Amino acid sequence: QVQLVESGGGLVQAGGSLRLSCAASGRTSSIYGMGWFRQAPGKERDFVAAISRGSALTSYADSVKGRFTISRDDAKNTVYLQMNSLKPEDTAAYYCAGSGSTLPARKQDMAYWGKGTLVTVSS
Q: What is the per-residue DSSP string for 6-71? A: EE--EEEETT--EEEEEEEEESGGG--EEEEEEE-TTS-EEEEEEE-GGG--EEE-TTTTTTEEEE
Determine contact, residues 8/93, Cβ cutoff 8 Å: no
CA distance 99 to 116: 16
- Stretch 10-31: mean pLDDT, rounded? 96
Specify the pLDDT at position 11. 98
Specify the pLDDT at position 23. 97
**46-100 pLDDT per residue, tens:** 999 999 999 999 999 999 999 999 999 999 999 999 999 999 999 999 999 999 9
**109-120 pLDDT per residue, tens:** 999 999 999 999
Specify the pLDDT at position 22. 98
Specify the pLDDT at position 25. 95
